[in-house]
Amino acid sequence: MLYGSQIPLHNTAPDGEEYLDDHGEDAVWYAQKYGLTADPWQNTTVCSWLRQTPDGKWACAVAGVTVARQNGKNGGLEVVELYLMAQLGMKILHTAHEVKTAQKAFARLKHFFGESKDDPNAKFPELNAMVEKVRNVNGQEAIILRNGGSIEFVARSKGSGRGFTVDVLVLDEAQDINEEQLQAQLPTISAGPAQNPLTIYMGTPPSLEELAKGNGRPFLRVRTNALKGLQRIAWVEFGTPEYIEDMTPEELAEYVQDPANHAKANPAYNLRIMPSTIEGELGQFSPESFARERLNKWPKSLEHVSVIPTERWSALGVEPPPLAVANLWQTASFGVDMNRERNRVSISVSSFVPEDEEKIVLELIGSAKYDDGGTPKLVQYLWDRAKRIHPVVIDGRSPAVSLVPHLRKKKMKVRVLGGAEFVEASMGFYDAVMRDKTIEHHSEPRLDQSLEGLGKLAVDKTGAQWKFTPMDLTKPYHPFMSTLCAHYGAVKFVRRRIGESAETRDSHGFG
């Protein structure tokens, strides 16, 4: 019978004779006394996290585990929390994305310590005898022990965590944490009484859409730093080594069906997670979703290779023509996009070339800083160039939709793309570059760099329909998005006027 692998795909904790596993081994033994028996993979995780240097400090101040859901990662965490509180007297702040998740974790720890101080029904009287206080107030749940150890539970927000001083910070559901929340919570361990801080990240891979919104980026960054050896991190990961981005849709569909991959990625396979359960998930998830949720597949991150190869894109680059030639081109449409923080804006324009009925020329004409006070200036910039003649195209999910009321007030032609149109725009742009070669562009470093970060995100179970999505978060997405919108505007909303010349336009960027 096939069982789940107990050996992690990655374990980056430093190993060597100078490091001690005493705390990890003691934690596993201590939890077993109270009925919490660690699986072999949980044992490995606990010992990696709690490995020490000879001077008694943690070998790694940052630790993490990522494994598919329902395998028991919270069980391993309970082993650690129980030991750190009861035996080492450490203070812990346990955070989660959702209130109900934090409350479930609180309930699981109360199983050991009891419902209150001097609880006559406590399952383990010797643990209950250590309790100074159990706080059951919603949003302020806590267990405080007489030895100075404690654990407090909060749901994350940009302000939660402020005011706490602890030794250990637990970031459960780390796939949902954003930069603001991390900024609020990380300083809680800066001056902990043990002077031996530890941050623990736990979760599953963040989706590409959530990463695009900023959620899960700290988690992805920790993983990247761990696997590249850029920081000493005890990162334990269960999964298979292949990347989704390296597979065709057909290869991925076959890959997710393989029980051997199910067992490699799920240590609880055929123990707590039955093959029949996974078969049921296969019938409901898309291959991409199944790969992320059940096979624990992470995006390539900094190792990402764009779906549009640099060589192919560069081959379509042309030098900007003399002004006299450019004036013969027919301006088609403008595309606008902003980054998520709304402090950068990009504007692109598409044009038709008179001598080639299929060719569309794309140019990034503006990429600059932006703030709310810049709205009138930006609207005027677009009015000066588009007037009421040329469409201004904006993705409906972009922060740039804030401009739409201002543009429509001037009765400009504004086109806001819905979800289906964005899929059509993505696939059409890809075909124009990779197959039809009907695009030319003025090689612009900011646009070239933006394309390097592109990935595909399937929108149906077969993978036949997809849309562009940011994959390498070190590359700006908005320059490309403005160009995509400008191209789609030319294809969808503008008719080529043979024999008519375009208005002269200023090629200098906004701002």
- Provide the pLDDT for residue 171: 96
The 10s digit of each residue's pLDDT in 116-158 is 999 999 999 999 999 999 999 887 899 999 999 999 999 887 6
Report CA torsion sign: 446, 447, 449, 454: positive
- Provide the pLDDT for residue 333: 95
Among 297-306, 350-359, 462-471, 502-511, the range scoring the smallest mean pLDDT is 502-511
Whole-prediction pTM: 0.67
Cα separation of 247 and 228, whole Å?
23
Share above pLDDT 70 across residues of the chain, in percent, rounded to a whole number: 92
Among 136-145, 191-200, 275-284, 502-511, the range scoring the smallest mean pLDDT is 502-511
Is 60 exceeded by the pLDDT of residue 313?
yes
Is 60 exceeded by the pLDDT of residue 491?
yes
Rounded to the nearest 10 degrees, how much is the dihedral formed by the CA atoms of 256, 262, 264, 267?
150
Is 80 exceeded by the pLDDT of residue 349?
yes
Cα separation of 71 and 68, whole Å?
6
Cα separation of 109 and 115, whole Å?
10
Q: How many CA atoms lie within 13 A of 32 on its CB side?
A: 12
- Provide the pLDDT for residue 118: 94
Cα separation of 240 and 291, whole Å?
10
Is 60 exceeded by the pLDDT of residue 507?
no
Cα separation of 510 and 508, whole Å?
7
How big is the chain by its Cα radius of gyration, in Å? Answer: 27
- Provide the pLDDT for residue 498: 57
Among 117-121, 189-193, 208-212, the range scoring the smallest mean pLDDT is 208-212
Buried/exposed 370-397: b ≥16 CB within 10 Å, e otherwise: beeebeeebbebbeebbeeebbbbbbeb
Is 50 exceeded by the pLDDT of residue 509?
no
Cα separation of 466 and 245, whole Å?
13
Cα separation of 52 and 22, whole Å?
8
Among 39-48, 126-135, 212-221, 477-486, the range scoring the smallest mean pLDDT is 212-221
- Provide the pLDDT for residue 308: 87
Q: Could you tell me which of 50, 121, 41, 115 has the C-alpha nearest to residue 81?
A: 50
CA distances from 382 to 219, 336, 341, 365, 506 (A): 39, 9, 21, 11, 11
Q: Residue 57, exposed/middle/buried by CB under 10 A (0-12, 13-18, 19+)? A: middle
Q: Residue 444, exposed/middle/buried by CB under 10 A (0-12, 13-18, 19+)? A: buried
The 10s digit of each residue's pLDDT in 41-58 is 999 999 999 999 999 999
Residue 172's pLDDT band (cuts 50, 70, 90): very high
CATH code reported for the domain at 310-492: 3.30.420.240
CB 353 within 8 A of CB 329: yes
Cα separation of 315 and 306, whole Å?
15
- Provide the pLDDT for residue 131: 95
- Provide the pLDDT for residue 326: 61
Say if 10-241 and 310-492 have the same CATH topology: no
The 10s digit of each residue's pLDDT in 232-291 is 999 999 999 888 877 888 889 999 999 999 999 999 999 999 999 999 999 899 898 899
The 10s digit of each residue's pLDDT in 82-115 is 999 999 999 999 999 988 989 999 999 999 999 9
Is 50 exceeded by the pLDDT of residue 318?
yes
Cα separation of 150 and 106, whole Å?
12
CA distances from 111 to 34, 35, 114 (A): 10, 11, 6
Grouping H, G, I as helix, E, B as strand and the rest as coil, residue 167 is coil
What's phi and psi for 65, nearest 5 deg?
-140, 135
CB 474 within 8 A of CB 452: no
Share above pLDDT 90 across residues of the chain, in percent, rounded to a whole number: 60
How many Cβ atoms from other residues are within 10 Å of residue 72's Cβ? Answer: 19
For the residues of 371-405, what is the DSSP string, one character each?
-GGGHHHHHHHHHHHHTTTS-EEEETTSGGGGGHH
- Provide the pLDDT for residue 508: 39
- Provide the pLDDT for residue 107: 93
Residue 327's pLDDT band (cuts 50, 70, 90): low
What is the mean predicted confidence (pLDDT) over 53-67?
94
Higher pLDDT, 61 or 496: 61
- Provide the pLDDT for residue 241: 87
The owner of tokens 């070669």 is: 437
Domain residues of the chain, as ranges?
10-241, 310-492
Please enumerate in sequence order all residues whose Cβ is within 8 A of that of 475, keeping only pairs 6 or more positions apart, or say none: 449, 450, 452, 453
CA–chain centroid gap for 203, Å, is 11
Residue 212's pLDDT band (cuts 50, 70, 90): low
What is the mean predicted confidence (pLDDT) over 14-31?
92
| Token pair listed for 84 | 């750190």
Which class would CATH give 10-241? alpha beta
The 10s digit of each residue's pLDDT in 393-448 is 999 999 999 999 999 999 999 999 999 999 999 999 999 999 889 999 988 899 99
Cα separation of 83 and 70, whole Å?
23
Cα separation of 77 and 88, whole Å?
15
- Provide the pLDDT for residue 52: 94
